[in-house]
Amino acid sequence: MYKGIFREEAVAYKKKQRSISPVSVPSTHVAFVACVIICLLIIFIMMTLKYTERVSVTGVTIPVKGVATVNAVSGGVISNLYVHHGDYVYKNQALFSINSVMKDSSGIQYTEIGIELLNKEKKTLEKELSSKYKSTKEQLLILNKELNKRRESLVILKKKSFINRE
């Protein structure tokens, strides 16, 4: 049984001491059965335990108590906006800041703030308009070059067809 693996003297010595315990490798059938049992156990656990499933959906969420209304304590002009459409908000989170002005100046300060905001918007719109104008002008130049090339090729083709007729 152990021939070729161990020396005979070593095997005889171990037999006398009765401490030989051959280690056997489990058969493939035992390993297969163990794997099947483990798989069935995992499936059973997955079917019985509760777990969180995440699903992406689109839509609009409405609070349980209805749509929330936002009121400002004082009047004024919104100077800073801290949240945008679609952002998550939390209770007591600042949504915007209001630049409130005394009303005894008969609306002059409101007008000044409005003018500042309109001037900022005007500058951004002017920049956008100038960039669009430049890009449109460049496109027009490219199209004019293409048109001139096509006209030249048309003239050449007409000359060739006239020569071929004669």
**Which amino acid is located at 146 in the chain?**
E
Per-residue pLDDT tens for 31-72?
Answer: 899 999 999 999 998 888 877 777 777 777 666 676 667 666
Supply the pLDDT for residue 133.
93
Supply the pLDDT for residue 139.
93
Judge contact between 95 and 82, C-beta under 8 A.
Answer: yes
Supply the pLDDT for residue 104.
45
Supply the pLDDT for residue 150.
94
Supply the pLDDT for residue 138.
92
The pLDDT averaged over each successive group of 10 residues in the chain (166 residues) is 70 71 71 94 87 74 68 71 83 80 55 79 92 92 94 89 77
Q: Rounded to an integer, what distance in angstroms lies between the CA atom of residue 30 and that of residue 71? A: 72
What does the H/E/C string look like for the chain? CCCCCCCHHHHHHHHHHCCCCCCCCCCHHHHHHHHHHHHHHHHHHHHHCCCCCCCCCCCCCCCCCCCCCCCCCCCCEEEEECCCCCCCCCCCCCCEEEECCCHHHCCHHHHHHHHHHHHHHHHHHHHHHHHHHHHHHHHHHHHHHHHHHHHHHHHHHHHHHHHHHC
What does the H/E/C string look like for 95-140? CEEEECCCHHHCCHHHHHHHHHHHHHHHHHHHHHHHHHHHHHHHHH
What pTM does this model have?
Answer: 0.30
> In degrees rounded to 5, what are phi and psi of residue 81?
-115, 120
Distances (CA, A) of 115 to 34, 108, 118: 80, 10, 5
